[in-house]
Amino acid sequence: MNGALAGLVILALGDSHMVYMVSPLHDALEEQGATVNTYAMCGAMAEDWLTRTTTQCFAERHDKGAAVVKNQPAPTWLLTDLLERNRPNLVVIELGDNMAGYGTLGALPRDFIRTQVDGVLGPIRARHLPCVWIGPPWGKDTAAYHKTELRTKELSQFLAQAVAPCAYIDTTSLARPGEWPTYDGEHLSQASYRKWSLDITGAIIGLKGRLH
């Protein structure tokens, strides 16, 4: 298959942002020649991919198949199982907002975030797989998320350092605050998710030669 990402078998996982991007991001990566398996869980933190629990909504999509999106409780996936099942040569992770403590904590919970990140990257590092971590987009300081520009930038800057050896995509550098509208302060409009998906794909294309 032709395309800038031909030869890549991508395992993509994330939180509710990835639920909304299960079609646009998956499509954008596939259009560049990659084979993609996408899994997303609402409200997911990094640790939720390591122990069996329950998610309240989820999305799943494989290669050229249709997306499955359900708003009902379901068992969570285990990252180790997904790595064995899908045999990726690139892991794409979109996580961060649910670990930031928006509106509830006086300071960014750095130790908590680092522990979460190190946990989810453990199986990836053990298999020496290249990975890309996608940072959070700008939001808006409204109920119920209270996602401030300061905390979003602080989180993104911290993740950029904490997710090594993954390459990091700084989503805050892709748009100005408020440029991508949200409908609840955190989750973007569908047009914004499509734009984000194309930007992520372009960034991965730019990183391809450095993903080892």
CB atoms within 10 A of CB 191: 11
Spans of all domains in the chain: 9-13+21-35+89-210
Residue with tokens 């090594």: 164
Closest by CA position to 37, among listed 21, 50, 26, 45: 26
Average pLDDT of the residues of the chain: 94
In this prediction, residue 146 carries a pLDDT of: 86
In the predicted model, is pLDDT for residue 1 greater than 60?
Answer: no
pLDDT band at 104 (very low <50, low <70, confident <90, very high): confident
CATH superfamily membership of 9-13+21-35+89-210: SGNH hydrolase (3.40.50.1110)
- pLDDT tens, residue by residue, 125-171: 999 999 999 999 999 988 778 899 999 999 999 999 999 999 999 99
Q: Which of 1, 118, 11 is nearest to 61 (CA)?
A: 11
Q: How confident is the model at residue 2 (pLDDT cuts 50, 70, 90)?
A: confident
Band of pLDDT at residue 212, cut at 50, 70 and 90 = low
Q: Global pTM?
A: 0.96
What mean pLDDT do residues 85-108 have? 92
> Using only C-alpha atoms, what is the Rg of the chain?
16
Residue 74 makes CB contacts below 8 A (sequence gap 6+) with 54, 55, 58
Instruction: Give the pLDDT confidence of 19-62 residue by residue, as tens digits.
Output: 999 999 999 999 999 999 999 999 999 999 999 989 999 999 99
The band of 106, judged by pLDDT with boundaries at 50, 70 and 90, is confident
